[in-house]
Structure formats: C-alpha cells, structure tokens
Chains A and B, each alone.
Chain A
Amino acid sequence: MAKRIEDLKIIENKRLNNDFFVLELSANDKLPVFKPGQFVQVRVDGSPKTFLRRPISIHDVDYGRNTFKLLIQITGKGTKTLSKLSNGDFLNLIYPLGNSFGLPDKNEKILLVGGGCGVAPLLFLGKYLKSNGYVPDILFGFRNSERIIELEEYLEIGKVFLTTEDGSRGEKGYITSHSIFSNGTYDKIYCCGPDSMMRAIAGYCKKNNIACEVSLENLMACGIGACLCCIVDTVNGNLCTCIDGPVFNITELKW
C-alpha cells in the first residue's frame, strides 16, 4: 500500500480527560484501506523542541465519512501542542505506516489487553475482529479512574474488564493481576501498552502457551525504515519497529 504525505483537516478535537484527546481527521482524497495496528507520523509545527514527527496509532476509521481518529495521550511538548489544535486546522501526516495485527484462527477465544494510551489501536482492531465474526473480551488498565476514557464503543465489541492502580474503578492493581487471567483461558491475546506491561503479558502467554501479538512504541525518527533508530532485538536480528512492526508476535521477540 502506497504511503502518502498529506495535510489533513481536523474536523474534531475532542478532549476526553486531563490526559487524553481524540483528533478526527478528514482526507480530501479517498482514504486507503487501513489495517488494524497501523500508525501515522504526525508533524508538530511551531517549536524547535518538537523537531521530529510523532508516531500515533490509528484509533478508528470511518470510510463512509472518509475520516479516521487518533487517540493521543499528552506526554510531552509535542502531544501538548497537538491537544491545542482547533477544528479546521490542518495537520501534516505520513500514512499509513507499519504492519498490522494478524487475524486469529476460527473459533479462537480472544482477549484484547490495553494499558493507558495502548488502548488506542485496540478499538480499530476490536471493530475489525467483530466484523470478522469474533467476540473478543477486552481488558484495560489505567492509573486511576480519572484517566479512563469513554468505553461505550468498546462495549459494543465485547465484555470490558478494568483495572486501576489505585482501585478507584475496576479491580485494583496492575493489569496482569486481574482475575480474568485466573478464571478464563484464551487462545490469543493482542496487547498494547507500556513496555513493562507488554513484557508481563508476554511472559504470561509464553508460560500458558497462548498466542500473543504486541504493538511496540519505540522511539523513531523517520517511520519509513530509513533511519534505523526504532530497532527491536528479535530472533531475526535488529528489526525496525516502523516497517517490520509495530506489531510483533512474541515468539519473534527476545523477551
């Protein structure tokens, strides 16, 4: 699929809470068919301190309206600047980038695990799985209840389970200690979140022989396989998160 560089119009900048916002972007030309797990490289203008583009995963796509959404967490200067953009502003993107999550086998029991901003690609993935006849369970972990995003759309995909580190909503503790792991068994887990969380989930999956794909968010410069900065150590040597990933099967990783 050809990659594009294009100015896209922000048709809505919706603040979800202190930390998260969603940008809905509209393209002039017909959108290419995105694959769940793919990402975009966003240019942040206006400051020498936001020199490089920001890689952001595709959160949701609406081909009917020819729009797609990015769910973004404010973590630094670049994302802070993006959070202040207004409806009607334009944003320069390189997209779509990266590989995608793989479809599970028929009749497999699926769990989507997202931590913090890692929930972003799982909405697109969840909808994609649902449209292919799967009903995945969904487990999200947030630091506290104030950070939890709206869950309505996820509830339309499957059952949603929650953890918060302070117990303000859902089960208390880290995502990996949720009772779902002692009660249910899954055939395949898709995971996106902080590195430590993904490693813990990968460890659980290896121990219990569960297939698992994780979406990494390594620091990157170009996003198109030229700079070799976003490498991940795999059984096949150093691979680029941007073109060989961001989705990796845990059997490929040296975790």
Chain B
Amino acid sequence: MVNLGFSIGDLHFKNPVLTASGTFGYGPEFDDFLDVSRLGGIVVKGTTLEPREGNLYPRMAETPSGMLNAVGLQNKGIDYFEKNIYPSISGYDTNIIVNINGSYVDDYVTLAERINTLDKIPAVELNISCPNVKMGGMAFGTNLDSAREVTRAVRAAYSKILIVKLSPNVTNIVDFAKVVEEEGADSISLINTILGMSIDVEKMRPALSTITGGLSGPAIKPVALRMVWQVAKAVKIPVIGMGGIMTTSDALEFLLAGASAVQIGTASFIDPQASIKILEGIEKYLIEKGFSEIKEIVGYINRTK
C-alpha cells in the first residue's frame, strides 16, 4: 500500500491527480467514464460573477500535438453555479475547487467571498492567466503589480485554500510565483495555455474568431515542465503542475521536477479516462520503484546529484 496523499495547508488530497479547469466541465460530464470521487480533486470550469457567452465560433483549432482554444470563459455565472451546479456536484467525495475569473480585482474578491460560504468547496484557483478575455484574465497574470494586488485582495477576503494559476506568457515566471507566495497564496498551479495562433491557408484567414488563442496539449509539455521545475525550486508552497500531460510518464516528470500534484487537462478530451489511468499508473510506478509515499518522488531530481 502506497500513500498517495498530499496536503496544501490543512487541506488533504487523497492523491495528486486533479483535473484542470475548462477540460472536465463540472464532473458529471465524465460520470459515464470514471468514478470522479477517485480523483484527488477537480477544478471546475472557470466561473465569473456574471454569465458569459464566451467568444464567437470558431474557437478551436487542432495543431500538431495540441490544440488552440479561444473559449473565453463561457459560463453561467456564480448565481447559477451556486443554485444549480453546486448542489449536483457537492456529493462527490473529492476536493472540488472553483476556478475564479474577473475583469476587476473586486470581481475576484466578490467571487471568493461567495465561494467561501460554500461548505463543499475547500479551495479556489485564482485564474490570472486566461489568454482569451479582453479584460482581466491574463492581464493580471502578466504584470507583477497586478498579480500582487489581486492576490493580496483575495487573500484578505478568503479564508480557505487559495491556489493561484500562473500564465506562461511572461519573461520570468519565477518572479510571479514569488509575488503570489509573498501575498499569501497557499499553492501555485501552472501553466495555463501558451498564447498562439493558426491560419487556414485555404480560406486565407485566422483559424480562430479571436485570431489568437491558448495552446494546450503535448506540444507545450517541455515548456510547462521547465517552468514547473523553476517555480518549485523557488517557492516553499506546494506547486501543482500541468501542461500537456497525456500519460503516467508525463505526470511523473512533473512530480520528479518538484510538483506536489498534477492537473490533467486536454488529455481528457481525447481519453475521458486519462486522469484515472494516470492515477493508477503513478501508484504502480511507486510500488515498482519501492517507494511508500508520493512525497518521496516529489522534486527527486532536485535532491540528487
């Protein structure tokens, strides 16, 4: 029996496999394919104060070993979430984390206050890295002062576990990690999508209605891994790694680089059971390697010469 559990602050996770926001709906979308309660956690779809329709179609383009998306935070808003979605998912026996987004600092604060009152939501993921909205989103996550301001404000208003999701679209992501840690974040998740674009040469126009969008999938994995490694060495709080994880081996790379946990994103689109398969694969790896706790492999490459 291996111990797969880890903690962020006083919040315990039964295992280090979570699903990434925007790739797993709210959970029930995947009920036919897996037992959601077996996961370490699920980060539900990005939520805003007001309902949002998102960007115009087309908002997706397939690219080599990946995809671009420009969904633009389509969601029905916090009122709908509280009333209609929360009751239907609060029965899952896993940590349900809400990814929160806003155009202004006050939006984030209000959302955090509202979610603070929901018993079955032990954590929020502060999304300061969405590349597909005109206001807010990545604007907060690509400016150190803004990242500091929004993290500080939410920290003051929110008493449970605060995870901040960083954007890779910066010169030095470590600076951002240090700032949010200083402002009281309990954990850092990274990376959000990498800004990219694609052009349909037959139609001679951009593939996405928004021209640019966020690149995800295995194409971004080496970049994500490098950033997770850099950040994990620079901060004391737990790091949650993501970016193109498709297999057990991919997930293990992030753990060995220093991530305490991983989020499975785009892989769930291709194999809705990817998260569970990776969870089973990690457990098997630990047994085969003779480890009894997941902790023993977290940051392993940084401890050995």
Contacts and interface: CB of A to CB of B under 8 A. Distances in A.
Given A2-B32, A48-B64, A238-B74, A219 B270 contact: no
A52 B67 contact: yes
Interface stretch (A116-124, A172-180, A228-236): A228-236
Label chain B's interface by main secondary structure.
loop
B116 interface: no
Interface in B252-274: 266, 268-273
Given A221-B269, A233-B57, A226 B64 contact: no
B215 to A, nearest CB: 12
Contact of A219 (B58, B64, B268, B271): B58
Interface stretch (B21-29, B99-107, B229-237, B285-293): B21-29
Nearest to A1: B32
Label chain A's interface by main secondary structure.
loop
A249 to B, nearest CB: 19
Interface in B50-91: 53-54, 56-67, 69, 71, 74
Contacts, number: 90
B270 A53 contact: yes
Contacts of B23: 222, 226-227
A228 B67 contact: no
Contact of A232 (B24, B30, B57, B268): B57
Given A5-B33, A43-B270, A228 B24 contact: no
Task: Name which of B29, B67, B269 has the most chain A CB atoms within 10 A of its CB.
Answer: B269
Nearest to B73: A228
Contacts of A3: 32-33
Nearest to B273: A5
A170 interface: no
B41 interface: no
Contacts of B299: none
Contact of B57 (A224, A225, A231): A231
Contact of A229 (B25, B45, B60, B219): B60
Given A5-B33, A238-B54, A52 B273 contact: no
Contact of A231 (B24, B33, B54, B66): B54
Interface string B187-199: 0000000000000
A4 interface: yes
A238 B56 CA distance: 9
A171 B269 CA distance: 43
A232 to B, nearest CB: 7
A227 B22 contact: yes
B40 interface: no
A29 to B, nearest CB: 14
A226 B268 contact: yes
Contact of A51 (B24, B53, B66): B66
Contacts of B136: none
B42 to A, nearest CB: 11
B29 A219 contact: no
Contacts of A231: 54, 57, 59, 74
Contacts of A48: 64-65, 218-219
A218 interface: yes
Contact of A52 (B54, B59, B270): B270
A52 to B, nearest CB: 5
B279 to A, nearest CB: 17
Interface of B: 22-25, 29-30, 32-33, 45, 53-54, 56-67, 69, 71, 74, 217-219, 266, 268-273
The 3 closest A-B pairs by CB, nearest first: A229-B60, A48-B65, A222-B269
Given A48-B219, A51-B63, 5 more contacts: A50-B62, A51-B67, A221-B69, A228-B22, A231-B54
